[in-house]
Structure formats: structure tokens, C-alpha cells
Amino acid sequence: MKCPHCGAWNQAYLPRCNKCGTPLEENNGQKTASWEEAMHKKKPSLQVLQFEPGEKDVFIPEDDRLYDPDNVDRAELRDELEELEARRELGEQRKAQMIRERAEHVRRSIREAEIIRPVQSGSSPEREGDSVVITRRQKARQEQYIRRSRDEEGNPITDEEHGYFGDPAYEQPLVYADDDKDAPYYYDGFTPESDDPVDHGDMPRRIPSRAVREDISESHSSSRRKKNRIMKLITSILLIVAACAVIAGVAIFGTWKFVNDQNMQVRKENETRVELTKTEVEVDGQLHPAHTITIYGRENATIFFKEMQSSYVIADGRVTVTVPDYMWYDTESSTFAKAVETDTMDVTVTPFIRYSQEGDQYELDPITFTIDVKLSPIYLLNPATIYADVGVSIYEVRLNVEKGSTVVIDGTNVSTLIRETGNVSKNVQVLPVGDNIISISVKSKYCRENKMEVTLHREAQDIPLELAATVLVEWNYEPISQEKYDAASDEDRAKMQIPSISGTTLPGADITVEFPHRKLEVDKETGKFSFVPLFSQLGDNEVVIRASIEGKNDSVITHTVYYMPNADLYTRRAWDLDSQYNDLINYISMRKGTIYVATGTIQRVISSAPQMAIMNIGSDTFEKLVMLENSSKTTWEVGTKYRIYGDAYGLYNNMPRLTVRYTYLTD
């Protein structure tokens, strides 16, 4: 039964609407029809069944399972009603969707329709009737869609729900005024029905199809057709020629690209790249500057260096060659070295590459770089400078060089005379003719040759005066006084080391020694003389000897003797410099020549010839700096700790200055 309030359908026996609860008046006090009483008034019969104990399953006949209207499952009924309501809403949605799809279809049909104009052949009653029929049908179709797109209250539905025809103001209307001769006709294939008085010949003409054009072309004249055939033939030929040209161009471009790629691949495989880096190499326990040449190239190719006359095979894509710099200028260490006399040298390496044993050899770009040429070191000991005045005919020239060097003094190779300390010496003849030039050449290993000249000046003499070739130049023993000599026995005198200086002069000449000495003996007949010097000053002692004859100019010789007692004698007389540091600074004039001992670390070197350095004999928190001049046989190194023995010389920038005679390395 339908609810009078909400319109929902309910079962006939329900007293109230299942949806809104409104009473159903037809079910309240009204009599039901006879067929309804037959269906609903009759109650199902009840049957009582008795079961015997032990029975489990009891079969109930189907006839007894009858429907009882008073015993209805309202929850199940409510579910069915909700399902029906959902189906109704789904139907409404599908209906709206169909309307939108149809509207979209019509809008697309109108937009895709051909806009054509009727043939202007005058205004006849039939032609005007045709226009009226077409316009009427279009207007009727538009009104039909407008009616479908309005709601129950007559308001138009928006375009978002029902499409284009929901709002007539969405675009321009489809109906134009009848007197508008320029109005377009939208033709979508409409054909008037058979009862409409329409002349199909006066319908708007459409664009002819291909078949129609072919039919029309048949009516052309033979000349026109011939001309068209010629044009078509020419066009076909041009198209064929253009196609052939395009194919040929593509083929040529493809061939060029293939060949170019192959050449690029070959060049890439054969491409070489050179890198040059500075480095150092260790030779004989010392580091020497070097250059590393790295060449990248194709695997198993051979690299040949012209200057070095050596070949290498590329492995793992490269060849690496490290050449010490001395190999380019040290002729003793290298067969391809060139002797140079400059501080720098320009080096050029020309590499060649060969890709196979039978292949050609190609020259690569030369490799150029500049290296520093190390000079062989020379430390001049005697004389101290390259110019000296001497008064002896035989003079000892002493040098300090690196061990293993080749040393030539005054034309004589003295390399075998080099001592462990690096000192080497040679006695040279000095004539009384003024300047005597002594040439010195030193070639150390891995260095270029160093040459120098020493000038020994000896004045010309009216009275010949010369010292013995073995004259004393260094004295390491304590001098013996006359009292000590007289008190000694003959056996003790034989053990004494007594300094002596001897020489010769013109017979009859008188000899005068301007230096503390004793026991001067002169033989007037032979001109020989000798005496014993008395050394009191440590270090260099200048002994002046003069020969004189009446009527001639005196001849004078100044001979220097280095006096230094041996370590046993010297160190026993040393004072502790650490405790006497302030006393030495305050009374330097009185302490000059006093021997001191100190232990400290060399902080920095001031000069190398002679070597002068600053030593800290204090601590890191409280420094005690001393300026030292090295007269020992040990070369100092910065940061090394030494124990030194030296005699006071003076002050240097408020620091005591000592001349070191003995040096010992400490932990």
C-alpha cells in the first residue's frame, strides 16, 4: 500500500508506513477484500510433535512451514526497503548521465555539422516552404531538449549536470530570424519525411565527394584531360627524382658518418696523452730531484725516447718513466748527459710511438722542461779566502769536499787523498814573483763540475828567504817551557813534543823572529836557521821572520801556525758555560780566550763558510743563546744536540761568541 504522506510503498498488512510512520487509514477499520482475507486472515495450523527420548533428527514437512504475517522479521524488511531506495537513486543517476551524454552528442553533432548556404536562385513558394520546414524541425528539437533539461519547478538545470542545452544563454541560439538571409543552415543529415512538400533539388548543396568529382571530370574536354595527365606525369617524375635524391643523400651521409666514426675510433685508439710531474728519487741514501714522464696510449704500443735511446711497452694503458735530473748533466752517471756550466738546463725529450713490430714509427710532440743543475760543493780551509799573502815557497792548500769526489789541485789529481771528514790537501810551490794562481777542480757525484782559482801572493825578494817544505802549520801539543826542558832527563826530553820552525836564507844574512820563541840557531855559511816558537794564543798564530843584509832590502815571511792543544789537554781546562753564562757576558774582555764547555741544540745556521750557528744551552722556557764559530772537524745540523768545547772570542748581539775546537754528538 502507498503511503499518502511520503509515497513509499508498504505491505498491505502493515498498520503504519515503514519509512515515515504515517498511519495507513485503509488498514485501520476498513474491510479487506475477499482475496486478501483468503491470503492473510487464515492462520497456519499448529501441529504438536512428540519425540521419543534418544531421537536426534526430526523431519518437519514442508506444508507446515507456512508464512505467518504476524511474525514478520522487520529488520530484514527494512533492509529490503533500503536496497530498493538505493536502486531508485542509482536509476536517477543513470538517467541524468544518459541525458548528459545525449546533450554532449547533440552539441558535438552541431559543432561538427557543415555550415553551408542555400543556392541563391530566387524566392519561390517551394523554396520558402523548404526553409520553413527545416527551421520548424530544428526549433522543435531544441525545445524538446530544453523541456528535458528543466526541474519540477521549471528552472533550467545547470550545464554541469545536463550539458549544453541546460542553459540557452550558454552559446548563441540555434534559431535565427526568418528575414536574415545570411543566417547559416546547420545540416546534420536531416531528410524531410515523405509527406513534407520538399523539393530535394533545392536542398542545400554539400561538398561533392571523390566519386562525384570523378563523374564531373568525365565531362571535361579531351584537351583538359590530356593536360591533367601531362601534369600528373610531370609531378610523378619529379616525385621519383626527389625520392632518388633523398635516398642518395641518405646513403652518402650514412657512408660519410660510418667512415668518420671509424676514423674517430682509430684516432681514439691511437690517441696519446703526455703528463710531466716533478718528483724525487732516492739514490745512495740521498734524495735527488727528478721528473716523471707518463705517456697514455694504446695497449702494447712501443714508446721510444730518442735522447735516452730507450724503449718501453705500454701496459695498462700507459708508460711511466722517472729520470733523475742529474742524468741530463752528470756525464759520469749517464751516457746521454751533456756537460753544462750553468745553474739551469733546458731538457728536450722526443718520444716516438710504434703500434706494431712491422708498423711505422710516429713522432710525438717533444717534451720540454727546465731543471736545476747542482754545483759540486767546495769549502776552502787553507787559505780561508781565494787571495792570501804567503812567505813560503811550499804552501799547503786544504779543502773540504764530498766523499767520492774527483779533486784536482794545481793539475794533480788528489781524489785518493780525501779523508773520512772530506778534507783533502796538497802542497803547492809559491814563487817570489807576486801572484801565484792555483787552480782547483771538484766534481762530486750527481753534480756538475765546480772550478775555482786561489791566488797566493809572494813578494819578490832581494834576499832569498824560504821555510822548509815540512814547516809547522798546526800544533796540537802543549808548549814546553825552558825551565821544564832543563829539569827533564834525557829520556823525558826524547818523549817531548817540541815545536820547531826551520828554513834557509842567503848565507851571511841575519835572521830575526818577531814572535815569542827560544833557541834561535843560524848557520852563516849555509844560511840555514831554526827556532822553537812559544804558542800562548789558541788558534792562528802569525810568526814573522825577517832576513837582512846590509845594502839590500829586507825579506819578510809571515807564517801562520794553528795552535790547538789536543782534546785531552784542551778539555781539561774548560769551564761550565751554563753556570758562567752571565759572568761571561759581563766580563767578556777579561774572559776572552777562556775555554768553556756547553751542551745544547743548534737552532739555526747563520753561515756555512766558515760555519756559524746559534745554540741554545738553556731550556725551552728559559733560553741561553750562544753564537758559535765552527773550527772543529764536525759539521753541525739544525735540531741536533751537541757538546762543544770552545774558547771565548767576544759578544754577538748580546750573546757570548765562542770559537769551537771540539764537537761531540750527544743523545
Domain ranges of the chain: 95-202, 227-265, 273-372, 384-460, 466-563, 567-665
pLDDT of residue 210: 44
pLDDT of residue 105: 83
Return the minimum-mean-pLDDT range out of 195-199, 222-226, 369-373: 195-199
DSSP state of 40: I
DSSP of 262-328: HHHHHHHHH--EEEEEEEEEEETTEEEEEEEEEEE-STT-EEEETTTTEEEE-BTTEEEEEEEGGGG
Tell the CATH topology of 273-372.
S-adenosyl-L-methionine-dependent methyltransferases (2.20.130)
How far apart, in whole angstroms, are the C-alpha atoms of residue 13 and residue 24? 10
Average pLDDT over residues 223-245: 82
3-class secondary structure, 450: strand
Decide which of 11 and 514 is more confident.
514
Q: Is the pLDDT of residue 309 over 70?
A: yes
pLDDT of residue 620: 79
Helical residues (DSSP H) of 496-626, grouped into ranges: 567-571, 581-586, 588-591
pLDDT tens digits, one per residue of 538-569: 778 889 999 998 888 888 888 888 888 888 88
Matching CATH number, 567-665, of 2.40.50.140, 3.40.50.150, 3.20.20.80, 3.40.50.2300: 2.40.50.140
Check if 384-460 and 466-563 are the same fold: yes
Average pLDDT over residues 327-352: 88
pLDDT tens digits, one per residue of 580-623: 898 888 888 888 888 999 999 999 988 876 788 999 998 878 88
- Is residue 655 a contact partner of residue 582, using CB atoms and an 8 Å limit? no
How far apart, in whole angstroms, are the C-alpha atoms of residue 557 and residue 561? 13
CA atoms within 13 A on the CB side of 87: 6
Decide which of 521 and 50 is more confident.
521
| Residue length of the chain | 667
- Is residue 118 a contact partner of residue 167, using CB atoms and an 8 Å limit? no
Residue 298 exposed, middle or buried by CB count within 10 Å (0-12, 13-18, 19+): middle
**CA–CA distances in Å: residue 58 to residues 46, 51, 52, 55, 61:** 16, 8, 10, 8, 10
Which of 103, 108, 99, 100 lies closest to 188, judged by CA? 108
**CA–CA distances in Å: residue 97 to residues 94, 108, 141, 162, 167:** 5, 16, 20, 8, 17
- Is residue 340 a contact partner of residue 326, using CB atoms and an 8 Å limit? no
pLDDT of residue 45: 52
Bridge partners, 547 (sequence order)? 511, 555
Query: What percent of the chain lies above the pLDDT cut of 90?
Result: 17
Return the minimum-mean-pLDDT range out of 278-292, 461-475, 589-603, 643-657: 461-475
pLDDT of residue 589: 85
Rg (CA), the chain: 67
Q: Is the Cα torsion angle 333, 336, 341, 345 positive or negative in sign?
A: negative
DSSP state of 521: E
**CA–CA distances in Å: residue 611 to residues 602, 628, 635:** 12, 8, 8
pLDDT of residue 151: 60
How far apart, in whole angstroms, are the C-alpha atoms of residue 601 and residue 616? 6
**CA–CA distances in Å: residue 187 to residues 91, 108, 169, 204, 435:** 34, 13, 22, 8, 133
pLDDT of residue 209: 44
pLDDT of residue 61: 52
How far apart, in whole angstroms, are the C-alpha atoms of residue 188 and residue 186? 6
Average pLDDT over residues 479-502: 81
**CA–CA distances in Å: residue 85 to residues 8, 18, 88, 151:** 10, 13, 5, 21
3-class secondary structure, 227: helix
pLDDT band at 164 (very low <50, low <70, confident <90, very high): very low
In degrees and rounded to multiples of 5, residue 603 shows phi and psi of -90, -45
CA atoms within 13 A on the CB side of 107: 18
pLDDT of residue 263: 55
Consecutive H or E run containing 379? strand 379-382
pLDDT of residue 419: 85
Here the cell at position 452 is: 775555482
- Count of other CB atoms within 10 angstroms of residue 360: 9
**CA–CA distances in Å: residue 386 to residues 167, 383, 413, 454, 612:** 121, 7, 20, 4, 19
Return the minimum-mean-pLDDT range out of 37-51, 189-203, 316-330: 189-203
pLDDT of residue 453: 93
How far apart, in whole angstroms, are the C-alpha atoms of residue 376 and residue 380? 13
Q: Is the pLDDT of residue 57 over 80?
A: no
What kind of architecture, by CATH, is found in domain 466-563? Sandwich (2.60)
pLDDT of residue 468: 83
Average pLDDT over residues 159-166: 45
Q: Is the pLDDT of residue 202 over 50?
A: no
How far apart, in whole angstroms, are the C-alpha atoms of residue 492 and residue 459? 42
Bridge partners, 406 (sequence order)? 443
Q: Is the pLDDT of residue 30 over 80?
A: no
Q: Is the pLDDT of residue 464 over 70?
A: yes
pLDDT of residue 535: 84
- Is residue 588 a contact partner of residue 648, using CB atoms and an 8 Å limit? yes
pLDDT of residue 212: 43
3-class secondary structure, 652: strand
CATH numeric code, 384-460: 2.60.40.10
Decide which of 175 and 489 is more confident.
489
Average pLDDT over residues 438-444: 92
- Is residue 457 a contact partner of residue 390, using CB atoms and an 8 Å limit? yes
**CA–CA distances in Å: residue 191 to residues 102, 135, 140, 634:** 21, 13, 15, 130
Which of 465, 236, 275 lies closest to 369, judged by CA? 275
First to last CA, the chain: 124
DSSP state of 37: I
Q: Is the Cα torsion angle 204, 208, 209, 215 positive or negative in sign?
A: positive
pLDDT of residue 121: 45
Average pLDDT over residues 490-513: 87
pLDDT of residue 600: 92
How far apart, in whole angstroms, are the C-alpha atoms of residue 559 and residue 501? 10
Q: Tell me the residue type at 620.
A: D
pLDDT of residue 150: 59
For the chain, give the mean pLDDT: 78
How far apart, in whole angstroms, are the C-alpha atoms of residue 168 and residue 159? 10
CA atoms within 13 A on the CB side of 404: 6
How far apart, in whole angstroms, are the C-alpha atoms of residue 33 and residue 17? 20
pTM above 0.75, yes or no: no
pLDDT of residue 42: 55
pLDDT tens digits, one per residue of 84-96: 999 999 999 999 9
How far apart, in whole angstroms, are the C-alpha atoms of residue 375 and residue 449? 7
Here the cell at position 520 is: 834561535
pLDDT band at 497 (very low <50, low <70, confident <90, very high): confident
Q: Tell me the residue type at 226.
A: K
pLDDT of residue 641: 92
Here the cell at position 330 is: 752528470
